[in-house]
Amino acid sequence: MKIAIVDGYSTGAALVRRLHAAGIECIHTQSRPDVNPYLLRGFRPGDWTHDLGFAPDPNRLIAWLKDARVARVVAGSESGVTLAESVSLALDLPTNAPEHLAARRDKALMADAARVAGLATPRATTARSAAEAAKWFAASRLTEAVVKPRASAGSDHVRFCSSPEEVAAASHSVLSSRTAFGEPNTAVLVQQRLYGTEFYINTVSAGGVHRVAEIWRYTKRLGPATTPIYDFEEPVPVPSPTGQLLRSFAFRVLDALGITETPAHTEVMLTDDGPVLIETGARLGGATAPDVVEKYCGTSQTSLAATTLSDPKSLLGFDDSLVRWRGNLRNVEFINPFHGPADPAALTRVEQLPSVVHVASAATPGTLLEPTSDLLNSPGYAYLAAEHHQDIVRDYQTLRAWESDRLHTL
């Protein structure tokens, strides 16, 4: 069996290793000529049977994959979703519903599709100028808004705003930049700011059947320039009342967006009025260590996706009501407050914390680090696990104290 993966970065790099271990040949291609260095973490060229690199002519790529007799074409990360699905459609391979292809990347179209299906979404508009964005906010009578690109990731250029002037400035920043994947921002999304508890639901779908692999609760903090910064995540048992509510809502989102054949990462704000969709990616969740997740959960989205790709019917036998977590686990994003060269001793120091079970670095020693403003410039993350929750809290607080004293920079 052969599977092609478009942009096999982030958790996509872990997926290919699972498929390779199962005896599946994996072919890699990339959707753009240039790749954000953040996404290259963990990418190992030797994991692939063939690495086609960037294929500027989609027709030649389709012909090559057809001759190679690939069984599936899937996205390894957010940037590969559109190309993977388009190529799958051209090859008549299993993929998500074509009528919502654009809505699975464009957050404005995504919200439109969700609203049509009767799902709650934030009040929002799409603007093509900073003045247009500010005018809408002033007329909306909202007190706060979120300004973001329509098709990026990792809290790239996301800003909280509380005045038309702030909306205009944030919109100008988006419109004058490119996404994390190098695409131009030709429009900006301005949304009502939601309050509640934020979660993400990682699922796998095949033949229109959905199963939950993981549910996590986000904790974020306000960073410089009113940006949301990832702080830490903790797992939520699927059988719990909250887990069941989120599962049901996420499945309705998947149906609304036509996600029938792929993994998906759905972010939801649980408000006083119920769940509200933030966004969904038709791909694996990122910034995760599947081996660690499986040790404390018994499965992971990555392992479930790999099994389902090799045997789609096996998903029917996966009972997600049995997804329960053993012990206490917390995934902590590193937050660096300083400018300076990356300190090569930082990871060794973090590893000495008693509850640390895994550390992932996004910083090459000696390279210049900027203060963390989003997920894309975080120096990495660590998983903390312990029998007692207070032990995790203790080590988390120690880590944050070290960071305030230049843990990550020289």
Residue that finishes a domain, picked among 95, 114, 138: 95
Q: What is the average pLDDT across 105-121?
A: 97
Q: What is the CATH number of the domain that holds 154?
A: 3.30.1490.20
| pLDDT confidence tier of residue 264, bands split at 50, 70 and 90 | very high
Give me the residues paired with residue 232 across strands: 219, 332
- pLDDT (tens digit, 9 = 90+) per residue, 201-250? 999 999 999 999 999 999 999 887 778 999 999 999 999 999 999 999 99
Quick check: is 108 in a domain?
no
Spatial separation of the C-alpha atoms in residues 174 and 148, rounded to whole Å = 7
Residue 278 falls inside a structural domain: yes
Confidence of residue 262 (pLDDT cuts 50, 70, 90): very high
Residues 253 and 367 in one domain: yes
Same domain, 6 and 70: yes
378 occurs within a structural domain: yes
Do 280 and 400 share a domain, yes or no?
yes
Which residues are CB-contacts of 324 (< 8 A; sequence separation ≥ 6)?
Answer: 237, 238, 239, 297, 298
* 72 has pLDDT over 80: yes
Mean pLDDT of the 251-277 span: 98
Does 51 lie in the same domain as 20?
yes
Residues 14 and 80 in one domain: yes
Same domain, 139 and 259: no
- Tokens 């995540």 belong to residue: 233
What number of residues does the chain have?
410
CA distances from 379 to 12, 65, 107, 260 (A): 20, 36, 27, 35
Q: Would 117 be classed as within a structural domain?
A: no
Supply 315's token pair. 């998903």
Grade residue 385 by pLDDT with cuts at 50, 70 and 90. Answer: very high
pLDDT of 158 > 90? The answer is yes
Q: Is residue 20 part of a domain?
A: yes
pLDDT for 364: 84
Question: Could you tell me the residue range of the domain that residue 66 belongs to?
Answer: 2-95
pLDDT tens digits for range 5-42:
999 998 999 999 999 999 999 999 999 998 877 777 77
Q: How far apart are CA 302 and CA 51, in angstroms?
A: 21
CA–CA gap between residue 251 and residue 157 (Å, rounded) = 28
Count of domains for the chain: 3
The reply to whether 170 and 64 lie within a common domain is no
Tell me the β-bridge partners of 302.
Answer: none
Q: Cα(first)–Cα(last) distance of the chain, in Å?
A: 48
The angle formed by the CA atoms of residues 94, 70 and 317, to the nearest 5 degrees, is 50
Q: What is the identity of the amino acid at 53?
A: G
274: left (phi over 0), alpha (psi -120 to 50) or beta: left
State which of 137, 170, 192 marks the end of a domain: 192
Q: Is 376's pLDDT higher than 90?
A: no
User: Three-state secondary structure along 190-240?
Assistant: EEECCCCEEEEEEEEEECCEEEEEEEEEEEEEECHHHCEEEEEEEECCCCC
Residues 263 and 393 in one domain: yes
- Asked if the structure places residue 116 within a domain, the reply is no
Among all chains, which residue has been given the structure tokens 């247009």? 132
Greater confidence (14 vs 156) lies with 14
Q: Is residue 109 part of a domain?
A: no
Same domain, 169 and 316: no
Residues 311 and 209 in one domain: yes
pLDDT tops 80 at residue 338: yes
Domain boundary among 76, 95, 114: 95
Lowest mean pLDDT among 70-79, 136-145, 298-307, 374-383: 374-383
What is the mean predicted confidence (pLDDT) over 107-127? 97
- Domain of 84, CATH number, reads 3.40.50.20
Q: Is residue 332 part of a domain?
A: yes
Q: Does 136 lie in the same domain as 15?
A: no
pLDDT of residue 365: 83
Contact 111, 277 (CB under 8 A): yes
Q: How confident is the model at residue 303 (pLDDT cuts 50, 70, 90)?
A: very high
Q: What are phi and psi of 58, to 5 degrees?
A: -60, -30
Output the CA torsion 384→390→396→398 (10° steps): -130
pLDDT of amino acid 119: 98
Q: Do residues 294 and 157 share a domain?
A: no
What rounded mean pLDDT belongs to the chain?
95
3-state secondary structure the chain: CEEEEECCCCHHHHHHHHHHHCCCEEEEEECCCCCCHHHHCCCCHHHCCEEEEECCCHHHHHHHHHHHCCCEEEECCHHHHHHHHHHHHHHCCCCCCHHHCHHHCCHHHHHHHHHHCCCCCCCEEEECCHHHHHHHHHHHCCCCEEEEECCCCCCCCCEEECCHHHHHHHHHHHHCCECCCCCECCCEEEEECCCCEEEEEEEEEECCEEEEEEEEEEEEEECHHHCEEEEEEEECCCCCHHHHHHHHHHHHHHHHCCCCCCEEEEEEEEECCEEEEEEEECCCCCCCCHHHHHHHHCCCHHHHHHHHHHCHHHHHHCCHHHCCCCCEEEEEECCCCCCEEECCCHHHHHHCCCCEEEEEECCCCCCEECCCCCHHHCCEEEEEEECCHHHHHHHHHHHHHHHHCCCCEC
Mean pLDDT of 144-158: 90
Q: Is the predicted pLDDT of residue 53 greater than 90, yes or no?
A: yes
CATH code of the domain containing 356: 3.30.470.20
Mean pLDDT of 106-132: 97
